[in-house]
Homo-oligomer: A and B are copies of this chain.
């Protein structure tokens, strides 16, 4: 056991939380940057997040090459992760999800804007990236670094980017933060969808969004949610003894 173990254990918990909260399903994934080496990241081999165990975690160079000749089958779309780490040195964790409530906002001109306090973290209006704009007809999967870097570039100053007909990629300053925003994004999408049925709505103000985005990503008030989600996901026994 090395001092990476707590971080890798939390990565397993994050996989299970995202599955249990319906952010990912058969597909979708979550990674962390190696806290000791910013040129590498950790991500499971090709396995649905609900089934991921500690032994499934692989290490990759930012260009997606497995470290140490690891020959296991990797996720085809791992380039989403490496390109996001390459783009922004502050990004320490990445989620890719197909959460269906978000999808209508990727195929229409309706912008996804934050309307609830817990989703302020998403920023004022995540951009929508259409793989066809640069790459034409594809399977819509992000399967190499050219595509990954084009996606990452579209993030600009945002932490989240929507992907047309596919899902979203979210980045965070910590694993806890990216899990939190990934859970809140579909919820915000559901609430906004209903509000749009009613007519004009009031989004969070720019000042409110900034205040939410600037909260300490690992503030103790957020441990409450991590503990709750982990326990619901059957990972209560993997939690350390930090009290929140």
Contact = CB atoms under 8 A, between A and B. Distances in A.
Given A48-B227, A244-B46, A193 B194 contact: yes
A227 B165 contact: no
The majority secondary structure among interface residues of chain A is loop
A98 B73 CA distance: 36
B100 A224 contact: no
Interface string A197-236: 1111111110110111001000011001101110110000
Given A137-B208, A228-B51, A229-B26, A108 B200 contact: yes
- Most B CB within 10 A of own CB, among A47, A108, A190, A243: A108
Contact of A202 (B76, B165, B204, B207): B165
A228 B98 contact: no
A195 interface: yes
A228 B26 contact: yes
Contacts of A138: 208, 211
A191 B165 CA distance: 10
Q: How large is the interface on A (under 10, 10 to 19, 20 to 34, 35 or more residues)?
A: 35 or more
B98 A116 contact: yes
A176 B204 CA distance: 34
A107 B208 contact: no
A173 interface: no
Contacts of A115: 103, 107, 165
A156 interface: no
Contacts of A166: 116-117
A211 B116 contact: no
A195 B108 contact: yes
Interface of A: 25-27, 46-48, 50-51, 73, 76, 98, 100-101, 103-104, 107-110, 115-118, 120, 130, 132, 136-141, 164-166, 187, 190-191, 193-205, 207-208, 210-212, 215, 220-221, 224-225, 227-229, 231-232, 243-244
Given A110-B199, A130-B202, A139-B215, 9 more contacts: A27-B118, A48-B228, A50-B231, A100-B116, A100-B190, A108-B195, A108-B200, A117-B141, A132-B208
